[in-house]
Amino acid sequence: MGHPAVSGQGAVRQGASRAYDAVVFDLDGVICHTDVYHYRSWKSVADELRIPFDETVNNRLRGVSRMESLDIVLERYVGEPLSHERKSELAATKNDRYRVMLGDMTPADLDPAVRTTLDELRSRGLKLAIGSSSRNAAFILERLGLGDYFDAVADGNHISRSKPDPEVFLLAAEYLGVDPSRCVVVEDAEAGIEAGSAAGMYTVAIGDAAEKGVGDAQLRTIAELTDVMARLES
């Protein structure tokens, strides 16, 4: 599905005239930044298995489910074959360590611009949702003081297919009661932009995805999203 393109300043090309009812946000890299916790917890598991692990490998895990992430980590594994049960144990160990680190998060870790942007979007009558592959989305939102900011949360506990499959975004739209074509999705990963596009949503890229020029719009900061939404509605 084609959409009007938007620049980093939120400028809409001629022909943009459709309205949107909801915004669906990825969590990690958009609402908050937990990459360092993911990195540390995966590295601790990799180190115990004597597997080389660095930022390059870690970047491949963005937006990927826990078990799929483990498979990527294990690509460099040299040793006796690991049973399904052992792999499940390793994934659980990673998550346990990750959650301990997340426990140190507080509302002070939230970029003030995120809360301001969410408040502005809600004041315009837009519904807000989270569409994340993380199984810890609700926990993270509570730690950040955003437990009641979203009308719906679709996460890794509700889906069987990770991005770039559109399942999580379609589910978020279903939870909101909004047609996917009337949703805007905000993502920082190429796989997430692909998923949003496959869901028929208007895609807004930020972070790594924006730097690669993917999506219907690219943002330099989350604050620019309010300008994009205003121009889409004009």
Task: Check whether residue 98 and residue 117 sit in a common domain.
Answer: no
Smallest CA-to-CA distance from 199 within 171, 228, 229 is with 171
- CA angle in degrees (0–180, nearest 5) for 23-25-28: 170
What pLDDT score was predicted for residue 4? 38
Where among 66, 87, 102 does a domain terminate? 102
User: Token pair 């489910």 is at which residue?
Assistant: 65
What pLDDT score was predicted for residue 59? 85
Task: Check whether residue 61 and residue 136 sit in a common domain.
Answer: no
The widest CA-to-CA distance across the chain, in whole angstroms, is: 61
Is the dihedral angle over the CA atoms 83, 64, 167, 90 positive or is it negative?
A: positive
Task: Check whether residue 53 and residue 148 sit in a common domain.
Answer: no
Task: Check whether residue 117 and residue 217 sit in a common domain.
Answer: yes
**pTM of this prediction exceeds 0.85:** no
Alpha carbon distance, N-terminus to C-terminus of the chain: 21
Where among 102, 124, 145 does a domain terminate? 102
CA atoms within 13 A on the CB side of 11: 5
Q: Give the chain's domain count.
A: 2
69 belongs to a structural domain: yes
Task: Check whether residue 54 and residue 119 sit in a common domain.
Answer: no
CA atoms within 13 A on the CB side of 138: 9
Radius of gyration of the chain (CA): 18
What's phi and psi for 187, nearest 5 deg? -140, 150
Tell me the β-bridge partners of 195.
none
What pLDDT score was predicted for residue 119? 97
Task: Check whether residue 92 and residue 180 sit in a common domain.
Answer: no
Where among 87, 102, 117 does a domain terminate? 102
116 belongs to a structural domain: yes
Task: Check whether residue 113 and residue 204 sit in a common domain.
Answer: yes
What pLDDT score was predicted for residue 138? 94
CATH number of the domain residue 148 falls in = 3.40.50.1000
Task: Check whether residue 96 and residue 138 sit in a common domain.
Answer: no
> Which residue range is the domain that position 57 belongs to?
35-102
26 belongs to a structural domain: yes
87 belongs to a structural domain: yes
Query: pLDDT in tens for each of the 234 residues of the chain?
Result: 444 334 343 433 333 444 899 999 999 999 999 888 999 999 999 999 999 999 999 988 877 888 999 999 999 999 999 999 999 999 999 999 999 999 999 999 999 999 999 999 999 999 999 999 988 999 999 999 999 999 999 999 999 998 999 999 999 999 999 999 999 999 999 999 999 999 999 999 999 999 999 999 999 999 999 999 999 987
Could you list the active site residues?
26, 28
